[in-house]
Amino acid sequence: MKLSLVRSACGSLRIHPARPGSRVSVLSRRCPPVGPANSRLILRTASATSSGGASTKIAVDFGKQSQKDEGFECDSSLREIVQSAKEEMAALHRRNPALQPMLAIIQAGEDDSLLEINKKMAGRIGLNITQICLAKECSEDEIVEELLKLNEDPRVHGVYLHLPPASLTSRVLNTLKPEKDVNGVSDLNMGRLVRGDLSKGFVPPVASAVLDLLENRDAPLEGKNVLLVGEDTPLGVAVQCLIERSGMVALRSHWRSKSLQTQVMQADAVVLLGAGKMDVPPTWVRPGAAVIRCEPTLETDEPTIEMSSKSGFGYLTAAYRSQNVVRSCRRWLQEQQYRPWHLRSLKLQPLTPVPSDIEISRAQTPKPVDQLAEEIGLLPEELEAYGRSKAKVRLSLLDRLHAQPDGKYVLVAGITPTPLGEGKSTVTIGLVQALSAHLKLNSFACLRQPSQGPTFGVKGGAAGGGYAQVIPMEEFNLHLTGDIHAITAANNLVAAAIDARMLHEATQSDKALFSRLVPSVNGVRKFSPIQISRLHRLGINKTDPASLTPKEISTFVRLDLDPSKITWQRVLDTNDRFLRKITVGQASTEKGQIRETGFDIAVASEIMAILALADSLEDMKNRLARMVVGTSRSGEPVTAEDLGVSGALAVLMKDAIKPTLMQTLEGTPVFVHAGPFANIAHGNSSVLADKLALKLVGRDGFVVTEAGFGADIGMEKFFNIKCRASGLQPNVVVLVATIRALKMHGGGPNVSAGAPLPREYIDENLSLVAGGCHSNLRKQIQIAHLFGVPVVVALNVFKTDTQAEIDLVCQLAKECGASDAVPCHHWAQGGRGSLELAQAVNEAASRPSNFQFLYNKEMPIVEKIRTIAKKVYGADDIKLSPEAEAKIDYYSQQGYGTLPICMAKTHLSLSHMPDKKGTPTGFVLPIRDVRASIGAGFIYPLVGTMSTMPGLPTRPCFYDIDLNPVTEEITGLF
């Protein structure tokens, strides 16, 4: 016996048990009883021998016996439909044994006769049924509310609206999702039927039953006339369409027609639609003609209702409805599979000279994000739109496509850059535009979300540039979907919790603290789940607050944070140098709890690094709980979970964990997600964005992601930190170089942001170019080869570069070990300018990759640091400060020694000295300090002084940023 329950809309509950051995479970909401509602069919055949207008009514009961008359029989049709539906169900269960299709019936009042018919039919086929009884006088809003719930219920595959005609308003019909409209009554499904497109729609079961009866007469009706009598209703339209497609001629008439009698007498069959108490006299019907009376009714004392509820027509209709539910479930299951892309590229018309980035962005109209999502195989329920051009993508996609093979994984890194940057983002975007829009290969770009600090400071935005951009670029660079704001809120909640806890511990006794931390509510005192977790970590295996000893209470309530060893700072997504060191607690209300602290920029928060490395919501929650915010006076680490705040952090971050979908100028998809610092963190976009994209592109597609700074920093951390966390292995590294950066490494003069470039960088100078290739470019290629990954060099071409310089770089790059080296003109030409790069990447990705990590994570912390310093940076050795040595010993004792290393050093040189270009040698790498991001899962040694809060220059970018109050257009962003 299988029972299912659901709470009634009217407050009571009723249980419908299924027959022993059946697979149907029926859910019911009980409401005030009203008369049953059903569809009646009376079929009459006129006979040449009948007299006095006598006619025979035929009702077929499919419960135990079948009534027949004059050779007309429906039982065989019913058996065929049931058998067909059962075979479809069996096929579904072979693919997914746990799948159980469900039909939901919404009705006004209580109708057990209808329920019984559908229950019996569902039992034969193997469906579940839920019956939702609304009040007889239910409002449109009440019906819509129920429909919205059923629309979002993944267990429900079909909805039957058994309501009075007045309740079937356009709003009601079109609220129901067409894919669950198994009665075929919505405007979309009716339109599909009229157009003859039934690949997604449903035929109304009543219309199917009428056609079945007509087609299964002894005398075939093909080419015969069938008269439909009644008002113009959707049911009439459906019946007419089916009749005409079956080779019969459908004629329409109304009860008011003066020629009705003549039309009836000439018809081979008559279908009466919505006749009410009206009927055609038997004398009008020609001998041998069939009369089908079909109408939905809501009556209370009609004597024929009991008979009609047991009629063959009721069972026949229920069978077709159940068949539609099975087909709906099959379509749903098909939609859950991987869906091939149907990407529509956006056309580019590059101009010369190239306009500003924001002008180019504004000149292109992006596709609506829901359209883009559909083109790349996302389901509507997997999308959370944020306006017209961007949307969050739900992580449920990973469950749906878990069996789908991953695509090819490409990392874009760079040589050691000038302070101006060398264009890794533009190369990334140009590459995916070339792959998707021109080579017609599925591809996805995965980019970091930019901080507003550089956007309003000196560097500007990070949406790419020229004709290789993410659009709309102003939305990309400003706020996006609020992830950084969520990180800011979560980070500062931790900071507030730290100072508040220190204040309360300093000013209250153990008893007072315990009383407030575990308050009595309605006379009951109990621990919250997060407090029980803390008790277990302390070795106190108790759950009753009254059972704790005074010593246990003291241990529980006292974190005893050492103010001088708090490592957690507040954050703000603005460059503000005056917040680097501040004093807090100076108000009299803080009772002397004054301490020095500071602000970091928001993207330097450990929570940002966690967002980038988490592979699920649960993983993120656990990582947030493990974050170490400081040390107690006894030397024990204090975590966010100890503070009791980790659950709240997960709540603040629950939407931020979903990647944001956008598009390039050529309409190819982009995930924008996370943006951790590339010095004290790992400088890569999120693991989740990469994983989602790898499933979406398919086995032969490409996911192109970018690592911050040069390959010695961003790429090394991508391999050793991100790939360890994700379990993913890259197929190709694209190493971005520019002529100006190579000239700098070949001995050219210093390059400074905001200052004009020296002549050496504008005029042709092959010796400087060659020097840069043989030094820095060669070293960065060698670093990639340490990990066993092939390298394609992408030369980002500027208008001042000469052909001789371009040819020389491509030649020398291949001599230095690159699989290929190609010039890229994406900034001026879009994807077409990166076709050579796309072809080179496609070729390199087809070769086997022998990926390996640089070090074993079980190695001691010191040896892991030494390995990176010597093999990646080219140092002779490392030198640890006493403070660094002490920290390493402490972290090893705490069990953190197996974490990977995230080196925090300058990005302007392979060494720790920013002015040493090319490939420095003969240096010892100084390790000033060692810190840990336990939640993120890495140790970060500090090489020199690292600023985590940038400052504003004399003339920041915001001088040029403005808004037109009439058009709301933004100017000055780049």
Tell me which residues are annotated as active site: 424, 426, 448, 459, 678, 709, 798, 827
The tokens for 314 are: 């009721």
Q: Which amino acid is at 861?
A: I
Q: Is omega for the bond preceding 36 within 30 degrees of 0, making it cis? A: no
Distance CA 518, CA 524 (A): 10
Give the contacts of 463 (CB within 8 A, at least 6 positions apart).
357, 361, 425, 450, 469, 470, 471, 473, 476, 477
DSSP string, 561-610: EEEEEE---EEESS--GGGSSEEE--SGGGTT--EEE-EEEGGGSHHHHH
Q: Which amino acid is at 326?
A: V
The tokens for 114 are: 């209808």
Q: Is omega for the bond preceding 353 within 30 degrees of 0, making it cis? A: yes
In degrees and rounded to multiples of 5, residue 160 shows phi and psi of -110, 115
Distance CA 704, CA 699 (A): 14
Distance CA 247, CA 229 (A): 19
Distance CA 245, CA 238 (A): 11
Please report, for residues 51, 164, 179, the alpha-carbon distance to residue 169 in angstroms, rounded to integers and kept in the order given.
45, 10, 19
Cβ pair 709, 683 in contact under 8 A = yes
Query: What Rg do the C-alpha atoms of the chain give, in angstroms?
Result: 36
Assign 895 to helix, strand or coil: coil
Distance CA 134, CA 9 (A): 7
Beta strand 637-639 with 628-632 is: antiparallel
Distance CA 261, CA 273 (A): 16
CA angle at residue 349 from 346 to 355, to 5 degrees?
Answer: 115
Question: Ramachandran region of residue 585, left (φ > 0), alpha (ψ -120 to 50) or beta?
Answer: left
Distance CA 502, CA 799 (A): 59
Cβ pair 589, 604 in contact under 8 A = no
Distance CA 317, CA 595 (A): 77
DSSP state of 904: B
Cβ pair 819, 791 in contact under 8 A = yes
Cβ pair 731, 701 in contact under 8 A = no
Cβ pair 501, 593 in contact under 8 A = no
Task: Give the chain's count of helices (H) and strands (E).
Answer: 35, 38
Cβ pair 818, 705 in contact under 8 A = no
Beta strand 37-45 with 56-58 is: antiparallel
Distance CA 159, CA 153 (A): 11
Cβ pair 369, 390 in contact under 8 A = yes
Cβ pair 169, 161 in contact under 8 A = no
Residue tagged 């339109």 (tokens): 191
Distance CA 336, CA 378 (A): 9
> Looking at 861-954, which runs of residues are DSSP E strands?
877-880, 924-927, 929-933, 938-942
CA angle at residue 718 from 716 to 722, to 5 degrees?
Answer: 135
Please report, for residues 48, 72, 245, 269, the alpha-carbon distance to residue 223 in angstroms, rounded to integers and kept in the order given.
22, 20, 11, 12
Distance CA 493, CA 117 (A): 58
